């Protein structure tokens, strides 16, 4: 696996993403986000990714070396943090009860970590190594968004899936640009986990959901334009934790 990572990093990333989709789609569809099986499957992926990164000392390459020291230039990620609360804008309501809610929240936190590592830590960095920055950003963001089409096979409605893809593409650009311009994946992992976890606490209001989608698209455009004007860090840009 290490040789593949070093010689064909794009293929390495794609294989991880394919394996993730092939495993998690049926698990999620059959057992649901609140199941212990969902949590266990995600733990396996998270543990495997973490073990690989540590064994190959790839923390800095994958953006896990520390917190970015240019947070001020990135506006302290405030646009991203505020936007990540959007699933709570339509009110508060638990998706599950008791232990099921806890399991679902833990699963969503792991989803944030695993998906950021796959689409940003692995895929984006592999594409970026080809010295085609704009193409790397676009492909990583679109792949992340289009990857949500697998939710159709988990029983999700087609319209809901289409909306989710647009939402995910918008977030894909935000997260990719934040990673690229800050040099750290940690803010992205936190934001991703917030989005998914907060979805389990938000009420279902169609109007507010459409407003959230629109705000996300606008913020993605404005924030990414701002970030595009920043100079990316060279050789790491971290504060040790």
Q: How confident is the model at residue 27 (pLDDT cuts 50, 70, 90)?
A: very high
Which of 140-161 are b and which e, b meaning 16 or more Cβ less than 10 Å from the residue's Cβ?
A: bbebbbebbbbbbebebeeeeb
DSSP string, 26-72: HHHHHH-TTSHHHHHHHHHHHHHHHHHHHHTT-TTTTT-S-EETTTT
Output DSSP code: residue 239: E
- Contact in structure between 4 and 126 (CB atoms under 8 Å): no
Look at residues 123, 127, 137 and name the one whose alpha carbon lies nearest to residue 172.
137
For the stretch 34-84, pLDDT in tens is 999 999 999 999 999 999 999 999 999 999 999 999 999 999 999 999 999
Quote the CA–CA distance of 113 and 115 in Å, as a whole number: 6
pTM of the model: 0.93
Max CA separation in the chain (angstroms): 50
Using the structure block, give the residue that is written with the tokens 């049926």.
26
Look at residues 151, 185, 31 and name the one whose alpha carbon lies nearest to residue 96.
31
For the stretch 185-209, pLDDT in tens is 999 999 999 999 999 999 989 999 9
For the stretch 213-233, pLDDT in tens is 999 999 999 999 999 999 988
For the stretch 8-20, pLDDT in tens is 999 999 999 999 9
For the stretch 158-185, pLDDT in tens is 777 788 889 999 999 999 999 999 999 9
pLDDT at 153: 55
Tally the residues of the chain.
241
Quote the CA–CA distance of 123 and 171 in Å, as a whole number: 16
Between the CA of residue 178 and those of 15, 38, 131, 154, 192, what are the distances in Å? 24, 29, 18, 30, 12
- Contact in structure between 36 and 103 (CB atoms under 8 Å): yes
75: region left, alpha or beta (phi > 0 left; psi from -120 to 50 alpha): left
DSSP string, 106-153: HHHHHHHHHHHIIIIIIIIHHHHTTT-HHHHHHHHHHHHHHGGGGGGG
Quote the percentage of the chain above a pLDDT of 90.
81
């Amino acid at each position: 696996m290490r040789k593949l990572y070093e010689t064909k990093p794009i293929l390495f990333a794609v294989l991880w993403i394919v394996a993730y989709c092939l495993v998690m789609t049926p698990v999620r569809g059959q057992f649901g986000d609140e199941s212990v099986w969902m949590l266990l499957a995600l733990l396996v992926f998270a543990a495997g990714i973490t073990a690989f990164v540590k064994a190959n000392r790839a923390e800095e390459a994958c953006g896990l070396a520390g917190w970015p020291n240019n947070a001020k230039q990135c506006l302290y990620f405030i646009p991203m943090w505020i936007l990540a609360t959007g699933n709570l804008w339509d009110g508060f309501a638990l998706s599950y009860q008791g232990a099921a809610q806890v399991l679902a929240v833990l699963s969503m936190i792991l989803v944030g970590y695993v998906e950021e590592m796959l689409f940003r830590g692995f895929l984006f960095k592999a594409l970026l190594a080809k010295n085609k920055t704009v193409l790397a950003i676009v492909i990583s963001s679109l792949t992340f968004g289009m990857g949500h089409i697998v939710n159709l096979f988990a029983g999700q409605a087609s319209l809901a899936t289409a909306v989710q893809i647009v939402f995910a593409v918008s977030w894909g650009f935000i997260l990719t640009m934040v990673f690229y311009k800050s040099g750290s994946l940690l803010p992205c992992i936190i934001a991703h986990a917030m989005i998914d976890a907060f979805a389990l606490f938000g009420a279902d209001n169609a109007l507010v959901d459409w407003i959230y989608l629109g705000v996300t698209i606008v913020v993605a455009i404005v924030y990414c334009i701002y970030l595009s004007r920043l100079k990316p860090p060279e050789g790491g840009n971290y504060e040790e934790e």
